[in-house]
Structure 1
Amino acid sequence: MSGPNTNYDPVEVSALDPAQVDANVQAALDAIAAAGDLDQLKQVRTAHAGDKSPLALANREIGALPPTAKAEAGKRVGQARGRVGQALKERQAELEAERDERILIDEAVDVTMVPGRRPLGRRHPIEQMGRRIADIMVGMGWEVAEGPEVEAEWFSFDALNFDEDHPARQMADTFYIDPPEHGLVLRPHTSPVQARAMLERGAPLYVACLGRVFRTDELDATHMPAFHQVEGLAVDEGLTMAHLKGTLDRLASELFGDGIVTRLRPSYFPFTEPSAEMDLRCFVCRGTDPDCRACSGTGWIEWGGCGMVNHNVLRACNIDPERYTGFAFGMGVDRALMFRTGASDMREMIEGDVRFDAQFGMEI
């Protein structure tokens, strides 16, 4: 058996050639320095320090060398791999520091800055006012009743004691659904809900009717062709105008504050007898300022109509007028909103401008 080849020169192995090893080291250092972020550095690590990198392949060749050559070759390759590993470690630390500094800048939070939140939706102020009125009536023990907006002419007029030639039944005042002879209208008031409630529930009865109504009015600061009404109807034994007055005073004080009372002025409506116009004590000056713009110095503001239910209406709705009496009242929800907020133009309520709605917020 022959002895080991002690004359084997490791320089003759190209991977272990000192010049080649230095070139591989320099290529690795250049690539490490050029890495712009941690992901690029990871690719450089694989290419120049991984298992298939030139220096790793050179390290494998050492095992084939004779013992006398292994020490020198191992030292040379080990130092080369150590330089590359140290460069990787230093560059890793630099890139991590840059990343952390960038995160602090990019994700910085100015706690003094007002947050840019998406504006929340809100109920329309007219709906808020309607709900407030409904809550007051329910708190007084009444129920809330609803009915269709496209209504039969009988419920809108005949059941409410309107004569056939009453001006309100003309097309100049009421919207009729084509063809007119079918007797369908856009309800001009919420009183048909009262008629339906009496027919369906009988007496005793305490209902508040809220909803949208339609009339052929021109749109201006104080009138709209589509607006909102609330009407109250009470039918029971022994009801009088005193009960009506007390109910209106309670409703007015709940809506407009303590000290607001109502007064009744004689008037005429087909569905009530006797009938009255109801006025509010001025909620601005309480009747003490002769120059008040809200009430023109009179101390009173017109609010709506009211009265005792006409016996013909009770009979039409199958209620015995000899046993039961009733009172009714009605006012505009939109006008009540104007009173509470000081709004001067009804058109602002229906233009859909969120700036108008936003100033009212939410009520609880």
Structure 2
Amino acid sequence: MLQDKITQYTQEIEAFAPNSAHDVEAFRLKFLVSKGVVKSLFEEFKTVSSEEKRVLGKVLNEFKQLAENKFKEASEQFNNAADSGQNKSEGDLTLPGEGFQVGSRHPLSLVRKEIVEIFKKLGFVVAEGNEIEDDWHNFSALNFAPEHPARDMQDTFFVKKQDGNDVVLRTHTSSVQVRLMENGQPPFRAIMPGRVYRNEAISARAHCFFHQVEGLYVDEEVSFADLKQTLYHFVKELYGEDTKVRFRPSYFPFTEPSAEMDISCSICKGAGCQMCKQSGWVEILGCGMVDPNVLENCGIDSKKYSGYAFGMGIERITNLKYEIRDLRLFSENDVRFLSQFETEII
């Protein structure tokens, strides 16, 4: 009989005295879920006669209210106990807290910081500039001819034209050098770290954006020997005293003479591997003496002053330092990759 079931369950609810939050949850699962006791009694109520419905309808509603109120009271009891620290069965609040990870430093950030610190010890300051540049600062002031391939659509991201001039995503941080020289007077001794963009297909060895550190030193009687000694010191500090260095003649529009600098492969120690293409050498930067035309374009007397400049990709330096063979890993934010590097715990 429905009346007998209601009476039996009512006595059970009135006698319910939970000892833990687990007991409260068990009560809810038994009485208040969609397949619980209350729901099943209401389903059974649909099958009784009209006369019984008039009697049992009120009783059944009062039973449902009793079950809901009992659950609410029990829940509040254990919630309040947990807030006040009285419910010791739920955990020992005297135990020390556990540290948690807040993330790791990105390998490019680590290497950039190391490079900056090395040059700061040599008296270089850090200069930064816009990632969106006009044609003058990105190309023309740096001696790029109007027909130079770097100006082609397949090499550069062109944003728009402003006052008849091209506006681009900078292809190198050399534009910061131009602004530095335009807005001051020698001597200059600065490095320019930052992100640059090239319209290239993304692969394991190339990306449409990457990071550079460029350097500039302009003063009276600056020579190529000064450049070589600066870069020798940099390489020894970054890769170790046993690292070998060689310079090869090259060409850049903004330096003359120009060179590329190779180091002995830090992965195979010069024996030959995939990274160095079995040659034992890896090119890490380009450099040279600042072209007199560039100095004059920036309002500097090239007969009185001379200077050198250099530039390197941080990704290439990081590849060698950590033996990373796929450039795409730097920008995919894969936690499995990033967690291998320096991590902070608080």
TM-score (norm 1): 0.67
2:101 counterpart of 1:119: yes
Determine the structure 1 residue equivalent to 2:187. 204
- 1:129, CA displacement in angstroms? 1.6
- Structure 1 unaligned runs (5+)? 1-33, 39-101
Corresponding letter in the other structure for 2:153: M
| 8 Å CA contact 1:245, 1:262 repeated in 2 | no
> Alignment partner for residue 318 of structure 1, among 262, 274, 299?
299
* Alpha-carbon offset, residue 254 of structure 1: 1.8
> How far apart, in 2, do the equivalents of 1:262 and 1:313 lie?
28
**d(CA) in 1 for partners of 2:267 and 2:129?**
35
1:35 to 1:294, Cα distance in 2 relative to 1, 3 A: closer
Shift in CA distance, 207/216, structure 1 to aligned 2, threshold 3 Å = same
Task: Decide whether the 8 Å contact of 2:218 with 2:306 is kept in 1.
Answer: yes
Query: Where in structure 2 are the equivalents of 1:285-296 lying within 5 Å?
Result: 285-287=268-270, 289=271, 291-296=272-277
Amino acid at match of 1:268: Y
Contact 2:156–2:197 (Cα < 8 Å) also in 1: yes
Counterpart contact for 1:304–1:329, Cα < 8 Å: yes
User: Which one-letter code corresponds to 1:347 in the other structure?
Assistant: R
Q: Distance in 2 between matches of 1:182 and 1:285?
A: 47
Structure 1 distance, partners of 2:185, 2:252, is 23
1:329 pairs with 2:313: no
Alpha-carbon distance between aligned partners in 2 of 1:141 and 1:245, rounded to the nearest angstrom? 16
The counterpart of 1:284, out of the listed 261, 264, 267, is: 267
How far apart are residue 116 of structure 1 and its match?
6.5
Q: Which position in structure 1 is the counterpart of 2:322? A: 341
Which residue in 1 is equivalent to 2:148? 166
Secondary structure at the residue paired with 2:263? strand
Check conservation: 1:212, 1:227, Cα contact below 8 A. yes
Cα distance in 2, alignment partners of residues 36 and 341 from structure 1: 62
Higher relative contact order (CA 8 A, sep 6+): 2
| Counterpart in the other structure of 2:223 | 240
Q: CA deviation at 1:238?
A: 1.5
Contact 2:190 2:216 (C-alpha < 8 Å) held by counterparts: yes
Shift of 1:297: 3.7
- Equivalent residue letter for 1:211: G
Please name the residue that 1:138 is paired with.
120
Residue 293 of structure 2 aligns to a residue in which SS? helix
Query: What is the rounded CA distance, in whole Å, between the counterparts of 1:362 and 1:35 in structure 2?
Result: 51
Query: 1:104: Cα distance to partner?
Result: 6.5
Could you tell me how far apart the structure 1 residues matched to 2:112 and 2:317 are?
Answer: 9
Counterpart CA distance in 2 for 1:301 and 1:270 is 23
1:350 corresponds to which of 303, 328, 331: 331
The answer to whether 1:184 aligns with 2:167 is: yes
Q: Report matched runs for 1:66-77 at 5 Å.
A: none
Question: What is the match of residue 55 of structure 1?
Answer: none
The letter for the 2-side match of 1:130 is R
Name the CA distance, whole Å, in 1 between partners of 2:18 and 2:265.
75
Q: 1:256: Cα distance to partner?
A: 1.6
Structure 2 residue 131 is matched with structure 1 residue 149: yes
| 1:311 Cα deviation from its structure 2 partner | 0.5
Q: Which has the larger radius of gyration?
A: 1
Are 1:222 and 1:346, in contact at CA under 8 Å, matched by a contact in 2? yes
1:326 aligned counterpart, secondary structure: strand
Q: CA contact under 8 A between 2:176 and 2:192: conserved in structure 1?
A: yes
Q: Give how far 1:334 is off.
A: 1.2
Counterpart among 275, 286, 289 of residue 308 in structure 1: 289
Number of the residue aligned with 2:83: none
Question: Secondary structure in 2 aligned to 1:242?
Answer: helix
1:103/1:320 CA distance change after superposition, 3 Å: same
Q: CA deviation at 1:361?
A: 1.1
Deviation at 1:255, TM superposition (A): 1.7
Per the TM alignment, residue 167 of structure 1 is displaced from its structure 2 partner at its CA by: 0.7
Shift of 1:179: 3.6
Structure 1 residue 119, shift from structure 2 partner? 2.4
Map 1:85-96 to 2 at 5 A.
Answer: none
Residue pair 1:204, 1:236 contacting (<8 A) in 2 also:
yes
Bigger drift between 115-124 and 243-252 goes to: 115-124
Distance in 2, Cα, partners of 1:348 & 1:227: 12
Tell me if the contact between 1:271 and 1:313 (Cα under 8 Å) persists in the aligned partners.
yes
Distance in 2 of aligned mates of 1:128 and 1:299:
26
2:77 aligns with none
**1:178 Cα shift?**
2.1
| Post-superposition offset of 1:182 | 3.5
Aligned-CA RMSD value: 2.6
The match for 1:254 is 237
3-state SS of paired residue (1:196): helix
Residue 320 of structure 2 aligns to which amino acid in structure 1?
F
SS in 2 for 1:275: strand
Give the counterpart letter for 1:321 in structure 2.
Answer: S
Deviation per residue, 1:175-224 (Å, 9 max, x gap) = 11124743211000000001111111221111100100011011000111
Aligned-pair CA distance for 1:128: 2.0
Contact 1:311 1:321 in 2 (8 A): yes
